[in-house]
Amino acid sequence: MSLLEVSRLNAYYGDSHILFDVSLNVERHEVVALLGRNGAGKSTTLKSLMGVVTPQSGSIRLDGSEIAGQKSHAIAQAGMQLVHEDRRIFGSLNVEENLILAGLSAPNRRPLEHVYAMFPRLKERRGTRGTDLSGGEQQMLAIARALVRAPKILLLDEPFEGLAPIIVRDLLATCRALAAAGQTILIVEQNISAAMTLADRVYLINNGHIVEQLTAQAVRSQPEILHRHLGV
């Protein structure tokens, strides 16, 4: 049994049909990348998994339990965490307050020192308000807030978007360390090369349809596949 099993998921924005029978799975301790052009349905897929968008139909099973149609807070309690593209940290709270607040309702909270060990910069800035952090620091905090809840699976929506290359490098190193430690990750990312350094497997989505499922090694050896579907 896969940790995450998604079957024939359909989602709408108003009257617009966005996801068409999307099916995918993520194994325990695996990193899976969901790649596609802008508007292909990548972020909608993550939001549908997390309950931010309510699926019209389909099944989402997390660790064997059906979560499709549940509210986001219930899905979070079940062990899924989404790091939104816009980060959604509390700007009026400092770093440590953001982390403490995130962990309050977590069934299996990670110690703050564990999170600070992954993000030493956040430990240095623990008393700094969210609005006074750089973009890269805000992204670190957004990921750290999810990790403090010790999720079974971490959903990352464009984690490297708009960040300086040196920050992307540091965040990638942290994500690789998380993966090496066994954290299950489903990542959506426009930075294909960054995503491919993390992923074990890849799903390609186009116009709301899953069009390919490949190992990362197959993608590396057949770059024409990415070119055909993504134009890269």
One domain for residues 128 and 223: no
Name residues whose C-beta falls within 8 Å of residue 216's C-beta, 6 or more positions apart in sequence.
33, 196, 199, 200, 201, 202
One domain for residues 56 and 107: no
Q: What is the CA radius of gyration of the chain?
A: 17
One domain for residues 58 and 156: yes
Is residue 49 situated within a structural domain? yes
Sign of the Cα pseudo-torsion (31, 149, 42, 16, in order): positive
Judge whether 226 and 35 are in contact, CB under 8 Å: yes
Local confidence band at 199 (pLDDT 50, 70, 90 cut-offs): very high
Is residue 84 situated within a structural domain? no
Judge whether 46 and 82 are in contact, CB under 8 Å: yes
One domain for residues 185 and 122: no
For residue 200, the number of C-alpha atoms closer than 13 Å in the C-beta half-sphere is: 16
One domain for residues 75 and 101: no
Tell whether the model's pLDDT for residue 203 goes beyond 70: yes
- pLDDT digits over 39-74, tens only? 999 999 999 999 999 999 999 999 999 999 999 999
- pLDDT digits over 125-140, tens only? 999 999 999 999 999 9
Tell whether the model's pLDDT for residue 232 goes beyond 60: no
- pLDDT averaged over the chain? 94
Judge whether 45 and 59 are in contact, CB under 8 Å: no
Please give the residue range of the domain that contains residue 125: 89-150
Q: Output the six-digit token pair for 184.
A: 């299950």
The structure tokens 């139909």 sit at 57
Judge whether 62 and 152 are in contact, CB under 8 Å: yes
One domain for residues 55 and 75: yes
